[in-house]
Chains A and B, each alone.
Chain A
Amino acid sequence: MSNRLAGPLGDVAADAGYDEHPVRVGFFTDTSLCIGCKACEVACKAWNSVPDDGFELTGMSYDNTAALGASTWRHVAFVEQSSTPATDLGMPGSGPPDSQAGDSEVRWLMSSDVCKHCTHAACLDVCPTGSLFRTEFGTVVVQEDICNGCGYCVPACPYGVIDVRPDDGRAFKCTLCYDRLSDGQEPACAKACPTESIQFGPLDELRERAADRVEQLVGDGVDGARLYGHDPTDGVGGDGAFFLLLDEPEVYGLPPDPVVTTRDLPSMWRHVGAAALTLAAAAALSALGGRR
């Protein structure tokens, strides 16, 4: 029963009590291939009948979706980075016209974010009703008919994925298209992705493919390329949905070193126990001192 709360876990579905189960599946989102078309967002909304959550202009590049939430289960982030050589700023026409030094280089990062389906999922651990559960595919799903809207999963998630719908109070998030998986189909977002930036498959295969891909990119001189969430020894035991990023995770709004909060829960209970005993002792000593 070791590593139930944190650390590497070989067979997450077996740990959840499935004797026989399909292989663990997940997403590998290769952001170097993302063209920001948002087909994943649309396909997810359409397939899962996810309601709209406002039509607002954020001023954040082409991203008007803003963040993952109860009614946004895929979110395409747009990051505009410019590296203008400081010496040439404000001096039009001073350099040779063909010089690269005068041009600002713009890099546009696009990345489709999604629930990470953590090996150690804090949302699932803290859920008091059993509404959040581990499927036979190793994914994490909310049962809407059981959720009581307590909202505990919301601040528990180290990635800020799950949220409650204000009008209804219950929590919603990506199901990794549980219904489609049960029918042998791939999730809607991966199906819709035109560039195979979103790849679906058995997690082990995806991890091998990702390792090859990042090696290739680094070899080609893309030095910012790195994997994120692929490592079973990280703070959440590895993600079921992991990424190839071209910059630091926080640039995309991802936490650089997330840890499942329940890793520390045994120690929290010990501290609560010690504090409770302290309170009882204080009361006992207070009772000894007489009436006035």
Chain B
Amino acid sequence: MRRDLDPVVPEAEFSSYYGRPVIKPPVWKQPDVPAYLFLGGLAGASALLAEGAALTGQPALERVGRLAAAGGSGLGALALVHDLGRPERFLNMLRVFKPTSPLSVGSWLLAAFSGLATAASASTVTGRLPALGRLAGSGAALLGPALATYTAALVADTAVPAWHEAYRELPFWFAGSSASAAGGLALIGAPVAQTGMARRLAVAGTALETAAERLLRRRLGFLGEPYEQGRPGRLLRAARALSLGGAAGAALGGRSRPLAVVSGAALVGGSVLTRFGVFQAGLASAKDPRYTVVPQRHRLAAAGEGAAIPG
């Protein structure tokens, strides 16, 4: 079952122009964009957690979730603005709405979500306008799952082979990672008496991301190599260790405050490393022309046209 480590095609069958990449690697900056992928996920899932806490009457958990939703989306918007260079460049994306551009959809989502989440957390902190704050929080919870998962379409809607071909699993991977991050942060911030929902969300999230990642690597085979090799491979292995360790700690040691904090930190750290690992796997996959050319050759061969048809 380790066929993913064997290139499907021997090197000899592959040619390129002086080994140069066929596609251009993403120019998105680090840490801005992978940090944004993490923060959007954390914020989106935290809004859900806050709504769940509000519905079940757990004010301390609700407070942590609301602050994480507002803080995460606010910092995420800052990261995006920093990547773009100037705030006007972010506002420029709100001139139009284009469903064919996940970045356009995401800009609107982020703008609406961070407005609602900020209003909700302001109401929570100041104690003013509780009904409106509650309404804003519910709105944020409605948008939260979309904010946490659209970033998968953002990276998949490119010609980067390791991202594009992973478009089926990436949203679930990001959804799981977001849930474990939000659960982890709540384990750190909320009193043990109100962390039941956070622990269950973290465990469920870790299970989901683990399953999605396994499925992705099995289905992608050769194209999934960048997720296992080099620096992105090391990042993702560390992310797995942290997430699984954090989830185990959350599941088994929930009553101990120190253990909850350590588990929560591991879960958040695992989610951060996951986004950096996925981001860097994309870069590696774009820079190596093998990943662009070999699958396209296979596709042509499968379609029964060994080469472009003359005439």
The interface of chain A, by Cβ under 8 A from chain B, is 5, 58, 60, 66-67, 69, 77, 79, 122, 125-130, 146, 148-152, 154-164, 169, 211, 214-215, 218, 225-228, 231, 245, 248-258, 261-262, 264-265, 267-269, 271-272, 274-280, 282-287, 289-292
Min Cβ gap A235→B in Å is 9
Nearest CB in chain A: distance from B25 CB, A:
7
Q: Does B48 contact A (CB under 8 A)?
A: yes
Contact status of A254 and B24, CB under 8 A, knowing A226-B308, A271-B168, A292-B193? no
- Contact indicator B167/A271 (Cβ below 8 Å): yes
Q: How would residues 220 to 254 of chain B score, 1 for a CB under 8 Å from any chain A CB and 0 otherwise?
A: 00000000000000000000000000000000001
Answer whether residue B210 sits at the interface, using C-beta atoms and an 8 A cutoff: no
Which B residues are CB-close (under 8 A) to A279?
44-45, 48, 144-145, 148-149, 175-176, 178-179
Q: Which of A274, A278, A279, A289 has the most CB of B within 10 A?
A: A279
- Does B195 touch A at the CB level, under 8 Å? yes
Tell whether, in the assembled complex, residue B107 and residue A128 are in contact, meaning their CB atoms are under 8 Å apart: yes
Is B52 in contact with A284, judged by CB distance below 8 angstroms? yes
Q: Taking each of B84, B101, B194, which has the highest tally of chain A beta carbons within 10 Å of its own beta carbon?
A: B101
B218 at the interface (CB under 8 A from A): no
Q: Chain A contacts of B200 at CB under 8 A?
A: 285-286, 289
Which B residues lie within 8 Å of A122 (CB)? 158-159
> In this assembly, does B1 line the interface, its C-beta being within 8 Å of a C-beta of chain A?
no
User: Is the pair A256, B297 in contact by a Cβ cutoff of 8 Å?
Assistant: yes
Q: Do B292 and A280 have beta carbons less than 8 Å apart?
A: no
Please report the C-alpha to C-alpha distance between residue A287 and residue B102 in the assembled complex, in whole angstroms. 30
Q: Which residues of A contact B292 (CB under 8 A)?
A: 255
Complex Cα–Cα for A136 and B55 (A): 55
Chain A min CB distance to B221 (Å)? 18
Other-chain residue from B14, B22, B144, B197 in contact with A289 (beta carbon distance below 8 A) = B197
Q: Does B299 contact A (CB under 8 A)?
A: yes
- Complex-state Cα separation, A166 to B22, whole angstroms: 20
In the complex, what residues of B have CB within 8 A of residue A150's CB?
83-84, 89, 93, 103
Whether A227 contacts B299 by the Cβ 8 Å rule is no
Assuming the A-B contacts A155-B25, A256-B296, A278-B208, are A248 and B145 also in contact, with contact meaning beta carbons closer than 8 angstroms in the complex?
no
Query: Is A275 a contact partner of B103 (Cβ separation < 8 A)?
Result: no
Counting chain A CB atoms within 10 Å of each CB, the highest count among B21, B53, B98, B286 belongs to: B98
With a cutoff of 8 Å between Cβ atoms, the chain B residues found around residue A267 in the complex are 167-168
Q: Which of B86-112 contact A (CB under 8 A)?
A: 88-90, 92-93, 95-96, 98-104, 107
- Chain B: minimal CB distance from A160 (Å): 4
A248-B15, A278-B175 given as contacts; is B96 within 8 A of A157 (CB)?
no
A152-B103, A155-B158 known, 19 other contacts, Cβ within 8 Å: A126-B103, A150-B83, A150-B93, A152-B101, A155-B23, A164-B27, A251-B15, A252-B17, A253-B17, A253-B18, A256-B296, A261-B156, A271-B152, A276-B145, A279-B145, A282-B204, A282-B208, A283-B45, A289-B197
**CA separation between A258 and B158, bound complex, in Å?**
12
Nearest chain B CB to A282's CB is how many angstroms away? 4
The residue that B23 contacts in the complex, of A245, A251, A255, A271, with Cβ under 8 A, is: A255
Listed from nearest, the 3 A-B pairs whose CB atoms lie closest are A253-B17, A287-B52, A275-B171
A117 to B225, CA, bound (A): 32
User: Could you say which residues of chain A place their CB within 8 Å of the CB of B28?
Assistant: 151
Q: Bound complex: CA of A258 vs CA of B24, how far in Å?
A: 14
Q: Which of A126, A149, A226, A287 has a CB less than 8 Å from the CB of B157? A: A126
Q: How distant is B301 from chain A, measured CB to nearest CB, in Å?
A: 10
What are 14 contact pairs spanning A and B, CB under 8 A? A69-B24, A129-B96, A149-B85, A155-B27, A156-B157, A162-B24, A226-B307, A250-B22, A253-B17, A264-B164, A267-B168, A282-B205, A286-B204, A292-B192
CB within 8 Å of A: which B127-170 residues: 144-146, 148-150, 152-153, 156-160, 164, 167-168, 170
**Quick check: is B8 within 8 A (CB to CB) of the other chain?**
no
